[in-house]
Structure 1
């Protein structure tokens, strides 16, 4: 089981902090990770999926979360097993695989993956093309192309061009399948839905479950300027809360839902809207999030993995374990936002 493929983004930050030459030793690992995600793509007919790759009915190729096993997770065997027992045999294997795929997504768990936000048995993660996963892979493909081009060894120019083409095909496919012009937002897509030649041949946008994952399309620069401005406006109207950006608009009791806000998603959303010219929104969200961090730290002496961004007096909850103290990504995002607001010398 993987996790969201942020490795290319990490390599890019490292190259920016040092120089591109220092990032070249990671090129083979980047290409190996990309091959892992794309395994089986060349054999797929329209409307088919294999492991982590799917081919939409219009022929375009995108990715999903997956797990090769269809058993309870070792780390949560008993709760998975107990829920699985309540399902008919024909549905149990799909449930276990969807639980595992949800864990791979990092969003374990969220109404984003569930047909019924109150019922974990309705997970449909493997049936969805996630907007953030494909934004990450778009960035990975562009990063591989840039590093190949920079290295300049025999064959690198041709490989770089191939990855540029892969990235552009992915961008076009995701914009066509995931962006909903009427609501000005990016959504996950049910890839099995639709018939060739129909209006829905690229799948069905899950428009009833908007999430902060849409911000990844801005952070990695996939969205057109018009789309970026529309998404930023929706984020400001519906997702911006007193403590920052909320993860989804559904209060389900799951930890990757309202009223929780998560540091990595704050960073994606804040830097994403900043990239599309909404400096005011980025600064407002940064100030609110940092104020919440400061308030909680003064009250408890701790930074935590997630925060309740709706009720600033309440500790964040939900999920399979107590809210963790620490916390690496909280500290990192806080420092990065402080540096952006008040440049440090």
Structure 2
């Protein structure tokens, strides 16, 4: 595979197929009702025959269809969701890898860790031949290598999930599988100019938190694979351009881009980034859900604006949270494009460091110098715009469109979001912030008194909005980033806090697994062993990033035999 691509910008998806599957989704909702209904299933279906034949059958069926008629139609014209993937046996999987989790001495914990490790085999897939020979009959994008899916309804490669999948694969000594996961994302970045939210044609409207460079860096540190660095660099430069300009689209000021300039209190101009999807229609995978949300609005422009904001919030990976809402009690006040997010800019700072490192490794002096300068500028911007000395946290910043539609925006302390989110502590994961002893001390103290630390991990927020990225849910990525940042700081107090958080998180994952036999997408951090809820779909199992974080924590901290795992019955 070439490290660069002649294709730039979005490659057109199978628009007629997606539009038809949205019609199928809407009809299914009318037949079966909302209870237990998953709209994503219907846009993941694959055609058995040609599209016109399926459309004719659909049009003939709709008026008098019963549930039985409907299921007959689905079986006759479609392969079910997930049918375009085949189970795959990773060649580097072994039931108990050599050197696996040497710090774990507890027999019970080790047995469980091996069961979690075995989930990589059950989550591994390869693209079926039919997707490559008849791509217009599928919404699945045929990535070139085998992949690891998150689990349940998430039947394709996902972007930021893959970072924690890779961390788990590295703990499992599955280096070739980890490389295959990354090479699929590199393929997407080269083909589209950025890594898609997921490897589906309906995800071409947005990306997800940019962690590709961090994945390459983790694999390089573990394997010293110089060739992987070489083939990734152009993809990373493509992605960096996307996050620092982006395809112009629409907003109240017609600025349409990820890049934002803002003037701080001292008059210095900074460049930062935001989430910004190029989409003002219902998300195909949630079309019926989005239309229901927009039904509360009166005008077509208001609805289009909500759809755009929903897609932009989905690009954040936090879909959804009161973090993006001007009124946490009103879902239609979603305003993700008006937020300069702390965590996104921390991720891009990490990308700048990584690109500089890779450029130095391969001897590209000009790229190295460019990204050293870029990282220094972004570090200053993050400190100037987001850092709140009084709270000891980095705070999201609300952009104010009321005064002017021209940039730069003028910083005002009143526009910092004073609410506490786990994302307020994510910059600690990135150098140089974890290297600043004074700042680490303030952040540790702030986290300790933030209210986020609960019996079973770090809460996502303190707001119980009913959305899944809010209280009382905790998510594996947030636990890991904060814990690893605390460890990297080298502070004894910070490490003790990190070990305590990791122990709480491992304990609740273990307890839930023993009760349900499954790893879960998210957990209730108030009640040990209880998985999370809320949001627009039922709780999912599998689960890629939860598996990866548990294995990474066990590799880092172990689990001493004399520490109680859970209350035994």
Fold agreement, TM-score > 0.5? yes
Question: Residue deviations 1:47-99, cap 9 Å, x none?
Answer: 99432111113421100001111111111111211222322424322211110
Spell out the pairing of 1:81-96 with structure 2 (5 A cutoff). Answer: 81-89=291-299, 90-96=301-307
2:532 to 301, 316, 323: 316
Question: Residue deviations 1:142-182, cap 9 Å, x none?
Answer: 11111111211xxx212211111111111101111011111
Q: Distance in 2 between matches of 1:206 and 1:299?
A: 39
Distance 1:334 1:314, change over 3 A: closer
**Secondary structure in 2 matching 1:304:** coil
Measure how far apart 1:216 and its partner are: 1.9
For residue 51 of structure 1, what is the aligned residue in structure 2? 257
Deviates more, 1:257-266 or 1:213-222: 213-222
Q: Distance in 1 between matches of 2:389 and 2:215?
A: 32
For residue 111 of structure 1, what is the aligned residue in structure 2? 322
Whether 1:135 aligns to 2:341 is no
Measure how far apart 1:186 and its partner are: 0.9
For residue 64 of structure 1, what is the aligned residue in structure 2? 274
Distance 1:57 1:191, change over 3 A: farther
Whether 1:10 aligns to 2:194 is no
For residue 229 of structure 1, what is the aligned residue in structure 2? 441
Displaced runs of 4+ in structure 1, greater than 4 A? 193-199
CA contact (8 A) 2:480 2:549 kept: yes
- The two structures, once aligned, show a CA RMSD in angstroms of 2.4
Q: Distance in 2 between matches of 1:197 and 1:70?
A: 25
**Secondary structure in 2 matching 1:60:** strand
Deviates more, 1:70-79 or 1:19-28: 19-28
Measure how far apart 1:236 and its partner are: 2.1
Question: Residue deviations 1:94-150, cap 9 Å, x none?
Answer: 211110001111100011111222221111100011111111111111111111112
State which structure, 1 or 2, has the greater radius of gyration over its C-alpha atoms. Answer: 2
**Secondary structure in 1 matching 2:263:** coil
Distance 1:127 1:229, change over 3 A: same
Q: Distance in 2 between matches of 1:29 and 1:199?
A: 33
For residue 286 of structure 2, what is the aligned residue in structure 1? 76
Whether 1:286 aligns to 2:502 is yes
Measure how far apart 1:204 and its partner are: 1.9
CA contact (8 A) 1:20 1:147 kept: no
Whether 1:24 aligns to 2:256 is no
CA contact (8 A) 2:460 2:474 kept: yes
**Secondary structure in 1 matching 2:260:** strand
Deviates more, 1:18-27 or 1:72-81: 18-27
For residue 332 of structure 1, what is the aligned residue in structure 2? 548
Name structure 1 gaps, 5 residues minimum.
42-46
Measure how far apart 1:210 and its partner are: 1.8
Deviates more, 1:48-57 or 1:253-262: 48-57
For residue 469 of structure 2, what is the aligned residue in structure 1? 256
For residue 488 of structure 2, what is the aligned residue in structure 1? 275
For residue 121 of structure 1, what is the aligned residue in structure 2? 332
Q: Distance in 2 between matches of 1:40 and 1:305?
A: 30
Name structure 2 gaps, 5 residues minimum.
1-205, 248-252, 561-569
CA contact (8 A) 1:191 1:202 kept: no
For residue 34 of structure 1, what is the aligned residue in structure 2? 240
Q: Distance in 2 between matches of 1:151 and 1:64?
A: 30
> How many residues get paired?
335
CA contact (8 A) 2:400 2:409 kept: no
CA contact (8 A) 2:236 2:355 kept: yes
Whether 1:150 aligns to 2:361 is yes
TM-score by length of 2: 0.56
Q: Distance in 1 between matches of 2:329 and 2:263?
A: 31
For residue 161 of structure 1, what is the aligned residue in structure 2? 369
Q: Distance in 1 between matches of 2:234 and 2:257?
A: 22
Distance 1:280 1:311, change over 3 A: same
Measure how far apart 1:229 and its partner are: 2.2
Measure how far apart 1:199 and its partner are: 8.2
Distance 1:94 1:48, change over 3 A: closer
Distance 1:40 1:257, change over 3 A: closer
For residue 295 of structure 1, what is the aligned residue in structure 2? 511
Q: Distance in 2 between matches of 1:113 and 1:206?
A: 10
Deviates more, 1:101-110 or 1:14-23: 14-23
CA contact (8 A) 1:219 1:273 kept: yes
Spell out the pairing of 1:95-106 with structure 2 (5 A cutoff). Answer: 95-106=306-317
Measure how far apart 1:320 and its partner are: 1.1
Distance 1:50 1:170, change over 3 A: farther
Q: Distance in 1 between matches of 2:522 and 2:246?
A: 36
Q: Distance in 2 between matches of 1:197 and 1:260?
A: 36
Q: Distance in 2 between matches of 1:120 and 1:218?
A: 30
Distance 1:61 1:49, change over 3 A: farther
